[in-house]
Amino acid sequence: MRNHPQALRRITAIGTVALAALSLQVGGAAAQDPGPTPGPTPGPSVVGGVPAAQGEFPWMVRLSMGCGGALYTHQIVLTAAHCVSGSGANTSITATAGVVDLNSSQAIKVKSTRVLQAPGYNGSGKDWALIKLARPINLPTLKTADNPSYNNGTFTVAGWGATSEGGGQQRYLQKADVPFVDDATCQGAYGNLIPGEEICAGLLDTGGVDTCQGDSGGPMFRKDDSGNWIQVGITSWGQGCARPGYPGVYTEVSTFASDIASAAASLGG
């Protein structure tokens, strides 16, 4: 994992005391705001969740740098900008799909060919990126929200990240439900929230359910009016994991829907 000046910038804005408490690193890196940092500490998967059933979320992808993602098209994974180091040719990432058990012999493993990090990403907001795969994966894709109408209600999150703050990465995909937290409330917890670009979710009063280190880049989703899953968020950051008063912060997918669509088109779909 390389350093992220941008992540440090945001942490500076929050203050050094808060730095120690922030836990946003990609699995395997030390805890920071959206951006992995060097360090041996294993990333904290979903806290307070339960194992997902095989095939329940068929578009879920595990990325080899220790992040999650979702199939945006059969050959493009949508993940977090802080999970990648920039844009350009990149054959170093392996996407694992089609299984809840990462060790399954049924796992579909495909290498990356290119990465496209959100244009203008500087460590705050715009936490999305696309990974082009070497070949299409024949699994369902996850539709993304292109307007704010689904930015409310109860969301589902999933990932192979830590199941407790500071805990290890998981072999089996975990899932949990988290309620929407409105921007004003979330800004009460995080003065540095970017309300137009980020959407919060979690159990504000009690904590106990949240994404955690290694879940970054994975989708936050709900059912649309037709009963199909739709992605409204991308796991981005939070202070610790599942702490009372500190919801999880997710990239607001609807805000970036057209940017993501153009970026995907530029990758050849």
User: What positions carry a catalytic annotation?
Assistant: 82, 127, 216
Pick the closer one to ligand ARG by CB: 50 or 134: 50
Q: For 217, which DSSP code?
A: T
Smallest distance, ligand ARG to C-beta of residue 26, A: 4
d(CA 248, CA 238): 5
CB atoms within 10 A of CB 98: 18
Pick the closer one to ligand ARG by CB: 75 or 161: 161
DSSP-based three-state secondary structure for 131: strand
Smallest distance, ligand ARG to C-beta of residue 239, A: 7
d(CA 57, CA 35): 26
Smallest distance, ligand ARG to C-beta of residue 106, A: 25
Pick the closer one to ligand ARG by CB: 46 or 145: 46
List C-alpha distances in Å: 16 to 48, 156, 178, 261. Answer: 28, 32, 29, 37
Pick the closer one to ligand ARG by CB: 93 or 241: 241
Smallest distance, ligand ARG to C-beta of residue 18, A: 13
Q: For 82, which DSSP code?
A: G
* Token output for 61: 């992808």
DSSP-based three-state secondary structure for 256: helix
Q: Exposed/middle/buried for 227, CB within 10 Å: 0-12, 13-18, 19+? A: exposed
Q: Which residues bind ligand ARG (CB under 6 A)?
A: 24-26, 34, 43, 161, 210-216, 235, 237-238, 241, 248
